[in-house]
Structure 1
């Protein structure tokens, strides 16, 4: 029986970008289904009782994190450029429209490349429209969904279900009752998937 990897992520997360670079191939290699679930990291932290500052506010931590990001980008031979803003809520919501059209993987991959590979401004709606078009989605319909009460309510429901499940940050990968946190846990995820067949 095929297993499902539930991937919880937020487009503001560069480590989720790094995880997404590897997860689709890992899922195919292990015969798994990869499901995409967008969250809001600051909201997830609060829901889990973590009221501490964001990484960007802790100078010693951000310095080390920046170095780690560069190391991972080199290891993965992937581009890495900080986005012009962190206004990613509409992009996260848009994933649910892409899921409904069977294009979640294509959209998430393209969106992460735009946001963290090229460093575009996700707050610019024309960038979201372009990304939707590039992966064969109806950009008008996607933006209509994102700006509708239906879209906002669906995104709120998905986030609430994630926090009830114990999602406290991103990237988080759930398989069975196992939880793997961070792109640096993908080896553990792969071992689990291979050994639990």
Structure 2
């Protein structure tokens, strides 16, 4: 048994938005740490051999997916608004910076609130700056990391490690020898950590 739940997410993922609403409490309730690992979903799909179109490119699928997202949002009693763009690479990189400064949970929670709760444009650096500050980070340093060669390298390395581990999408959680994919698998995840 490991003491950590590894949470792989991408800020473009609305289902990761939903998962992160419950995961921290599940981890606390069962004495597990929660480790945050940002990925790039389109890249993860390709790394896993999935060359199909994105959900947004399949009208019938996006219609059902959107309805499901609204159902989940009502169940969790949270707002859900599609963001103005899906360019979240800088946010994912800042998540690495936040994890290194003990602020991953706060940053991820606030970032998702802005991106999927309010539907902001992730390209807006003022929003990213405000989200970093709300998590207690030094905002200028966080944005500088996102733009730096170090930040880009570290995000690239984090993604490579995730794909080598078998990460193919998000949200995806590893705990002990088990893998759970999707916010709708959190009950299974909690059952596992409760009994192991």
Q: TM-score, normalised by structure 1?
A: 0.98
Shift of 1:108: 0.3
Structure 1 position 181 matched with structure 2 position 181: yes
Distance in 1 between residues matched to 2:159 and 2:35, nearest whole Å: 14
Shift of 1:99: 0.7
Match in the other structure for 2:85:
85
User: Comparing 131-140 with 13-22, which one deviates more in the overlay?
Assistant: 131-140
- Can you give the 5+ residue segments of structure 2 that lack an aligned partner in the other structure? none
SS of 2:193's equivalent in the other structure is helix
Distance in 2 between residues matched to 1:61 and 1:153, nearest whole Å: 34
Q: Give per-residue Cα distances to partners, 1:1-55, cap 9 Å, x unaligned.
A: 7621000000000000000011011111111100000000000000000000000
Shift of 1:136: 1.3
Distance in 2 between residues matched to 1:86 and 1:182, nearest whole Å: 19
Shift of 1:145: 0.5
- Can you give the 5+ residue segments of structure 1 that lack an aligned partner in the other structure? none
Contact in 1 for aligned 2:56/2:62 (Cα 8 Å): yes
Contact in 2 for aligned 1:13/1:171 (Cα 8 Å): yes
Q: Give per-residue Cα distances to partners, 1:54-74, cap 9 Å, x unaligned.
A: 000011110100000000000
User: Comparing 131-140 with 149-158, which one deviates more in the overlay?
Assistant: 131-140
Which 4+ residue blocks in structure 1 deviate beyond 2 angstroms?
none
Match in the other structure for 1:9:
9
Match in the other structure for 2:126:
126
